[in-house]
Amino acid sequence: MRILLLLPLAACTAEPAEPMLAKTQQAASVCADGPTIEGIDVSRFQGTIDWAKVAGAGKKFAYIQISRSLTDIDAKFPFNWAGAKANGILRGAYQRFHPGQDVIGQADLFLNKLGTPEVGDLPPMLDVEDNDGLSAATVAAKVKQWVDHVEPVVGLRPIIYTGFFFWRDMVGSADMSQYALWIANYSATCPLVPDHWTRWAFHQYSSTVNVPGIPDNTTDVDKFNGTLDDLKALAARPICDEVIAADGGVVDDASACFTAGGDPQFIRHEETAGFGGTLQWTHTTDNAAPANFGLWQLDFAEAGKYRVEVSTPAPFNQSKQAVYKIAHAGMVDDVPVDQSSADGFQVLGDFAFDAGATDQSIRVNDNTGEPNSTNTQLVFDAVRFTRSGLPTPGGDGGPPPDDPIGSAGCSAGGAAASWPILALLLGLRRRRRR
């Protein structure tokens, strides 16, 4: 990667002194939030790397090139990919993107060379520094096509690498702030970030550093904006291997089948609240695109219709406009929910699910329409499934067996939806084919 940006040093922006940072602000020169972690990004142009020496030099992560287009494949990728892992360096893969070529072809090449990410592998990165003579709107659309294709396969939200002026002039005003930013800016301690992004996740601050173990002295060096634990939090988690039994079950936020996605600085963890004693939450926004989300991956032992309930414990259940997107049996249903209406489980409805892990999930995004300035909390906790026709289990916030729909009302520990409310929710669902 060689985006050379010779920018003057600029004053750093002050971060708001709030429990969670605001998710919108003017684009500016932005400093790191606190500690940073050193890493590198490499390709075949760095020669044969001694990864033990790289690790000894204190480099904690490495991004490794798979290809520079659909046809220019990096022959050093397998060696570098294995070498980084063997020496305890967190690794991620990237592709230099050419929007003038077949987008899905490039994405599939990337995925085929990458294979299945292992636990601890970092999210994929798309290197956006070529426009191939296309318009900004076209480049933006093709970037979105690539990340939309790669994310569900890898299970991690991709990172976008670019430069401020390239993005401004060649991609335009496209809001892709839901993807972490890797900014190239070789002359600034506090790099300038494009519109819509409020911070950077990675900063490529030089391309000419002599790193021990790398024969070429033109190595790209980078900083991660956060601690080592923050960096590890971006990485692949254990594969979702919890199967929902034929009569139902619960997928909690503590499960490997749950992901709190987006920028980790905006996610809060509570260890003494919620189903099973844990929950997570974030603040809502009225942005066009989500910055954070909760995602429950689903794997059913047996196909059938299941009642779906979500846990919305107080006082974290402040959003009145949450929308749960339920991907099931080849369809997606959007179910609006007033989280504040129940301190406990509330019913989303009955849905048909296929057997197995067949791209079925439940997702709720933070861009509910409630402005970030209101500090409205959106909670991610447990999702409960009960085979339709069977009594919904009592206890743990569920309605009694003789009240399977939850008509007991919205008392704490009870189901949220009475028949009229459930009917309203079902009437508001927007169904579309996938």
- Render pLDDT for 217-262 as a digit per residue (tens, 0 to 9): 789 999 999 999 899 988 876 667 789 999 999 999 999 899 887 7
Q: What is the mean pLDDT of the chain?
A: 84
* Distance in angstroms (rounded) separating the CA atoms of residues 318 and 274: 14
User: Of all residues in the chain, what percent carry a pLDDT higher than 70?
Assistant: 82
Helix (H, G, I), strand (E, B) or coil at 120: coil
**Does the structure show a pLDDT above 70 at 430?**
no
- Render pLDDT for 405-426 as a digit per residue (tens, 0 to 9): 333 333 333 333 333 333 333 3
**Does the structure show a pLDDT above 60 at 265?**
yes
**Does the structure show a pLDDT above 60 at 156?**
yes
For 186-226, the three-class secondary structure string (H helix, E strand, C coil) is CCCCCCECCCCCCCCCEEEEEEEECCCCCCCCCEEEEEEEC
Mean pLDDT across 130-145: 96
Does domain 36-233 fall into CATH 3.30.420.40? no
| 18 is an active site residue | no
Mean pLDDT across 144-168: 92
**Does the structure show a pLDDT above 80 at 135?**
yes
Query: Of these residues, 41, 74, 230, 370, which one is catalytic?
Result: 41
Mean pLDDT across 152-158: 87
Over its C-alpha atoms, the chain yields an Rg (Å, rounded) of 23
* Distance in angstroms (rounded) separating the CA atoms of residues 427 and 336: 10
Assign 396 a pLDDT band (cuts: 50, 70, 90). very low
pTM of the model: 0.58
Rounded to a whole number, what is the distance in angstroms from the first to the last CA of the chain? 36
Assign 358 a pLDDT band (cuts: 50, 70, 90). low
370 vs 154, which has greater pLDDT? 370
Query: Of these residues, 129, 132, 270, 286, which one is catalytic?
Result: 129
Instruction: State residue 390's pLDDT score.
Output: 67
CATH of span 248-433: 2.60.120.260
Helix (H, G, I), strand (E, B) or coil at 399: coil
* Distance in angstroms (rounded) separating the CA atoms of residues 62 and 117: 15
The domain locations on the chain are: 36-233, 248-433
Helix (H, G, I), strand (E, B) or coil at 375: coil
Contact 300, 360 (CB under 8 A): yes
**Does the structure show a pLDDT above 50 at 367?**
yes
Of 318-327, 362-371, 406-415, the one with minimum mean pLDDT is: 406-415
Contacts of 309 (CB under 8 A, 6+ apart): 345, 346, 347, 348, 383, 384, 385, 386, 392, 398, 406, 415, 416
**Does the structure show a pLDDT above 90 at 107?**
yes
Helix axes 103-114, 136-154, angle to 10 degrees: 30
Question: Tokens 């990728």, residue?
Answer: 77
| 41 is an active site residue | yes
- Identical fold, 36-233 and 248-433: no
**Does the structure show a pLDDT above 80 at 17?**
no
Of 112-121, 128-137, 200-209, 323-332, the one with minimum mean pLDDT is: 112-121
